[in-house]
Amino acid sequence: MKGAKPKPNEIKRKAGSRHATDTVVVGGRGVPKMPSGLPERAKTIWKQLVADMSESGVLDRADWPLIEVAAVTMCRMREAREVIRREGMIVDGQRGPTTHAAYKIERECMAEVRQLLDHLGIGPVGRSRLGLANQKGKGMEAEIASRVPERGSLKVVQGGRR
């Protein structure tokens, strides 16, 4: 996406903007199954991401591809960090001292992980963009129901089932 990222709704509301919109987040339709073939470290990360998303009420079984990419990318980032720790940030290259190639891998993975976590609603910016910043332990259904202007005008349906 080019240009500035949109302001989170919480910031718009505090500024008194009439353009703040509430986002409806589809979640709660089940826990995604961990894909086979993940490295052990990625499995650990997968489990933690699923637990965090489940606790915040945004977990949905359809999120498995994003969770998989986030887990594998975090795994690669940590592997690159270990290589840098072992071999150092600066290594001897053909033309003299140069930055270790693992540093570039680590930086690229960090950028991708930040973006993925935003999409998954993990972290303060991600929660804010999904409208979850002020949930304070409420379930997603209760949070959405509390925002409906007239009781009975809309029905909150868990996971899209009727």
Give yes or no for residue 122 having a pLDDT over 80: yes
- Could you tell me what percent of the chain has a pLDDT over 90? 44
Q: How does strand 90-93 pair with strand 96-99?
A: antiparallel
Residue 18 lies in a domain: no
Per-residue confidence band for 82, with pLDDT thresholds at 50, 70 and 90? very high
- Confidence (pLDDT) at 39: 95
User: Does 43 score more than 90 pLDDT?
Assistant: yes
Alpha-carbon distances of 131 from 21, 38, 75, 121, rounded to whole Å: 9, 31, 29, 9
pLDDT of residue 54: 85
Q: Does residue 83 sit within a domain?
A: yes
Residue 26 lies in a domain: no
- Whether 115 maps to a domain, the answer reads yes
Could you tell me if residue 30 is inside a domain? no
Average of per-residue pLDDT across 50-75: 90
- What 124-130 contacts at long range (C-beta under 8 Å, 24+ apart), as own/partner pairs, is 125/8, 127/56, 128/8, 128/9, 128/10, 128/11, 129/6, 129/8, 129/9, 129/23, 130/23, 130/25, 130/58
Domain around 112? 35-148
Number of domains in the chain: 1
Residue 96 counted as domain residue: yes
Residue 7 maps to a domain = no
Instruction: Write down the pTM of the prediction.
Output: 0.65
What is the chain's mean pLDDT, rounded?
Answer: 79
Read off the pLDDT of residues 11-34 as tens digits, 9 standing for 90 and up.
666 666 656 555 555 556 789 999
Listed in sequence order, the residues at least 6 apart from 13 whose beta carbon sits closer than 8 Å to its beta carbon are 20
